[in-house]
């Protein structure tokens, strides 16, 4: 039995178990097992699997069929061209968060245009560090403090920072939002993808999410805005004048967050859509 046949069988199994993008999942699991890229799978289609490899592949496919997220099985994920370690208990980065990073980078470039040689960024709720590390890797002037309530997320972020050779510009601090950093510290940009699912919506989440991802990364009170409200309230005291707050939100919250900011000391309040046309990012500039 060659790779083509294993892939066909695995795809059928995953489809039967309700896994979307079954073929892609089958390929990524096999590539992970054989330590090949997906492209290399295609150039090795005639390769046979040893009995040990075949057994190991079957175990991986069954595990994925049970609903365990692919990224927790392979132990990594891609984000803005970086490969980052992820682990059970820590939120898996989503592709739409790349838009948040775009908008944070634009804000950072605005700050740079006004003369800052070193730009300070605070990432609240960093998870595996995807936002913090993208910003640091894409802007040499950025010095990023990445925080999370969860020490496991902080450890993972620090590991990813070291692996990406960004340990000298990404500092990790554990704690509840702004409590994680020194009282007097100020930043040019505060960025956050906080938890924003209303607590009553547990049942409507996909099984892969509610069964495997940490609830502290997902839920934020009855209306889902508990953490966002605290991030917004605390931001003016932590930003330099003209600094930016950039938030990922649920599309159902975008206008409420805009109103919250419109009622405060903020200028240039703007809502941005993700690639699917949903209002997912809100950005504002601290006025004088």
Ligand X SMILES: C[S@@+](CC[C@H](N)C(=O)[O-])C[C@H]1O[C@@H](n2cnc3c(N)ncnc32)[C@H](O)[C@@H]1O
User: Which positions are annotated as active-site residues?
Assistant: 91, 193-194
- Residue 231 tokens, joined: 């991030």
- How near is the Cβ of 79 to ligand X at its closest, in Å? 8
Q: Which is nearer to ligand X, 29 or 177 (CB)?
A: 177
How many CB atoms are closer than 10 A to CB 248? 25
Q: Which is nearer to ligand X, 154 or 286 (CB)?
A: 154
Q: Which is nearer to ligand X, 126 or 145 (CB)?
A: 126
Q: Which is nearer to ligand X, 237 or 287 (CB)?
A: 237
d(CA 169, CA 161): 9
Instruction: Name the residues that contact ligand X, by CB under 6 A.
Output: 91, 93, 97, 124-127, 130-131, 147-150, 153, 176-177, 193-195, 216-217, 227
Q: Which is nearer to ligand X, 124 or 166 (CB)?
A: 124
- How near is the Cβ of 54 to ligand X at its closest, in Å? 35
- How near is the Cβ of 185 to ligand X at its closest, in Å? 15
Give the residue nearest to ligand X (CB).
125
- How near is the Cβ of 282 to ligand X at its closest, in Å? 15
DSSP state of 49: P
- How near is the Cβ of 231 to ligand X at its closest, in Å? 9
């Amino acid at each position: 039995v060659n790779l083509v046949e294993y892939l066909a069988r695995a795809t059928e199994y995953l489809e039967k178990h309700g896994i979307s993008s079954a073929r892609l999942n089958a390929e990524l699991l096999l590539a992970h097992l054989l330590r090949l890229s997906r492209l290399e799978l295609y150039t090795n289609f005639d390769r046979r699997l040893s009995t040990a490899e075949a057994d190991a592949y079957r175990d991986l496919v069954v595990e994925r069929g049970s609903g365990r997220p692919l990224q927790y099985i392979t132990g990594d994920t891609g984000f803005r061209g970086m490969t980052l370690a992820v682990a059970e208990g820590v939120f898996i980065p989503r592709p739409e968060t790349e838009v948040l990073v775009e908008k944070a980078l634009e804000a950072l470039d605005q700050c740079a245009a006004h003369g800052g040689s070193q730009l300070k960024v605070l990432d609240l709720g960093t998870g595996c560090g995807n936002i913090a590390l993208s910003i640091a890797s894409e802007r040499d002037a950025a010095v990023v403090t990445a925080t999370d309530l969860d020490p496991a997320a902080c450890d993972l972020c620090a590991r990813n920072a070291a692996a990406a050779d960004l340990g000298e510009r990404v500092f990790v601090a554990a704690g509840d939002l702004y409590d994680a950093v020194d009282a007097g510290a100020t930043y040019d940009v505060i960025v956050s993808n906080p938890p924003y699912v209303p607590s009553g919506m547990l049942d409507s989440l996909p099984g892969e999410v509610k069964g495997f991802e940490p609830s502290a990364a997902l839920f934020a009170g009855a209306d889902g805005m508990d953490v966002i409200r605290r991030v917004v309230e605390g931001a003016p005291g932590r930003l330099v004048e003209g600094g930016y707050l950039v938030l990922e939100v649920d599309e159902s919250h975008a206008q409420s967050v805009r109103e919250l900011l419109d009622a405060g000391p903020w200028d240039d309040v703007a809502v941005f859509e993700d690639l699917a046309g949903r209002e997912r990012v809100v950005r504002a500039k601290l006025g004088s």
